[in-house]
Amino acid sequence: MGKRIVVKIGSSSLTSEQGGLNRDRVKFFADELASLHRSGHQVLLVTSGAIAAGFRRLGYASRPKLVHEKQAAASVGQALLMQAYQEALDASGIAAAQILLTRPDFSNRGRAQNATRTIEELLKQHAIPVINENDTVAVDEIKFGENDSLSALVANLVKADGLYILTDMDGLYTGDPRKTPEASRIEHVETLTEELYRMAGGAGSSVGTGGMRSKLEAARIAMQGGVPAFVGRVSDPGDLQAAVAGQGKGTYFASSLHSLSAKKHWVGFLSDPQGRVVVDDGAGDALLNRGRSLLPAGVTAAEGDFHPGEVVEVVGADGRVLGRGVTNYAAWQIIAVAGLSTEEARKRVEVGRIEVIHRDEWVASTIVKEAHAHE
């Protein structure tokens, strides 16, 4: 039966050594996508490459570094990128449908629904949606930067059967293979652990932006959205079909048994945190490993000016981000009760719920022990 498949192709797979768009690679990937399409799958593509395709045409000698220069290069290059895909797909009679998105397009319900409806219609008409970040308007907090997390949010939005993140490396290794030649490939990941995050480094080339770390983050978003993911290489004809059939050159990430509720998905991946709550080691362990709520006793500090009902980041004593949750306290209230017992805290502040963050409104930054997440 046909599956709904999201394929992400990164800059490192599409660019020539000088950093420009490699049209032969575009043609190769378009053929791989067309082959999936012919097999009866619904295919969506998330592709980078706009900056690579545009910077020379605009007159820059090398890939620009400043944000507004990148944006200008992307606006020239996006049209060239689409043209390259469309020309390559013409042979198969497939229409390429350009979709440019930013973060608020996912967090705003109305916009997300509009995007979903458009995509559903495109798939019904047998087109391939070709998605990239809307680089013209995307800066700072609405920006993805890399397209890995964009592809995971797309996969969740359209309830894909699989997310395939293609890159220049054949999967996640125990260390960055460019720096650690003895590193070995991890074939299957059931649960994302701190250790895996430590193994994943940054981008390997001057054109890639996210590196393995952002691919792991994307895998996490997909896994928690109930979508299995693959990170690997497609370099020979038939490789993408093989990857979809479970025999790809890469790492497979199992979808989480219990996908996140719509609310937790929003808290974890779409919300814009308004501040930070610092917790001690015991509270960090309770949140990450024991499926507990955050109580005043484990809090040591609050940073920023936030209000009850807003999303905050929770950080450990060492400054490491542990996750995000909806706070039941204002920043000043947290400061007033930090370190106090629940009983004492009740006497000092008037809050709707005594937990600083309730476990039902908390999403960890790593999937640690799945079983506890739903106790």
Ligand X SMILES: N[C@@H](CCC(=O)OP(=O)(O)O)C(=O)O
Ligand Y SMILES: Nc1ncnc2c1ncn2[C@@H]1O[C@H](COP(=O)(O)OP(=O)(O)O)[C@@H](O)[C@H]1O
Per the annotation, binding residues for ATP are 8, 167-168, 209-215
Tokens in use for 291?
A: 């499926």
Q: Can you tell me which of 32, 148, 239, 313 binds ligand X, judged by CB under 6 A? A: 148
Which residue ranges are tagged as binding site for substrate? 48, 135, 147
Dihedral, CA of residue 268, residue 269, residue 270 and residue 276, to nearest 10: 50
Q: In whole angstroms, how close is the CB of 160 to ligand Y at the nearest point?
A: 19
Residues 241-300 that bind ligand X (CB under 6 A): none
Residue 275 binding: pick among ligand Y, ligand X, none (C-beta 5-8 Å cut-off by kind): none
Whole-angstrom Cα distance, residue 20 to residue 7? 21
Q: In whole angstroms, how close is the CB of 250 to ligand Y at the nearest point?
A: 10
Q: In whole angstroms, how close is the CB of 143 to ligand X at the nearest point?
A: 9
Choose one: 57-65, 144-152, 226-234, 313-321; the region binding ligand X (CB under 6 A): 144-152
Tokens in use for 118?
A: 């458009």
Return the biggest CA–CA distance within the chain: 73
Tokens in use for 225?
A: 């959205």
Residues 50-69 that bind ligand X (CB under 6 A): 50-52
Nearest CB to ligand X, comparing residues 147 and 365: 147
Of 187, 164, 169, 189, the C-alpha closest to 179 is: 169
- DSSP designation for 292: P
Residues 340-359 that bind ligand Y (CB under 6 A): none
Contacts of 97 (CB under 8 A, 6+ apart): 122, 127, 128, 129, 130
Q: Can you tell me which of 133, 161, 170, 217 binds ligand X, judged by CB under 6 A? A: 133
- Interface with ligand X (CB under 6 A), residue total 17
What does the per-residue mask of binding to ligand Y show for 10-39, with x meaning CB under 6 A? xxxx--------------------------
One-letter amino acid of 335: I
Asked if 316 touches ligand X (CB under 6 A), the answer is: no
Whole-angstrom Cα distance, residue 287 to residue 40? 44
Asked if 74 touches ligand X (CB under 6 A), the answer is: yes
Q: In whole angstroms, how close is the CB of 189 to ligand Y at the nearest point?
A: 12
Whole-angstrom Cα distance, residue 265 to residue 107? 10
Q: Can you tell me which of 42, 48, 149, 156 binds ligand X, judged by CB under 6 A? A: 48
Asked if 313 touches ligand X (CB under 6 A), the answer is: no
User: Is the Cβ–Cβ distance between 46 and 9 less than 8 Å?
Assistant: yes
Nearest CB to ligand Y, comparing residues 54 and 226: 54
Say if strands 311-315 and 321-327 run parallel, antiparallel, or are unpaired: antiparallel
Whole-angstrom Cα distance, residue 210 to residue 13? 13
Q: In whole angstroms, how close is the CB of 201 to ligand Y at the nearest point?
A: 3
Residue 132 binding: pick among ligand X, ligand Y, none (C-beta 5-8 Å cut-off by kind): ligand X
Paired residues of 311 in beta bridges: 326
Q: In whole angstroms, how close is the CB of 60 to ligand X at the nearest point?
A: 13
Tokens in use for 283?
A: 């509270």
Residues 195-214 that bind ligand X (CB under 6 A): 208-210
- DSSP designation for 175: S
Whole-angstrom Cα distance, residue 194 to residue 21? 35
Choose one: 48-56, 239-247, 302-310, 315-323; the region binding ligand X (CB under 6 A): 48-56
Of 163, 172, 168, 269, the C-alpha closest to 212 is: 172
Say if strands 321-327 and 357-364 run parallel, antiparallel, or are unpaired: antiparallel
Residues 143-202 that bind ligand Y (CB under 6 A): 167-169, 172-173, 175-178, 199-201
Q: Which residue has the tokens 């079983």?
A: 371
Q: In whole angstroms, how close is the CB of 255 to ligand X at the nearest point?
A: 21
Q: Which positions touch ligand X (CB under 6 A)?
A: 10-11, 48-52, 74, 132-133, 135, 146-148, 208-210
Q: Which positions touch ligand Y (CB under 6 A)?
A: 10-13, 167-169, 172-173, 175-178, 199-201, 203-205, 208-212
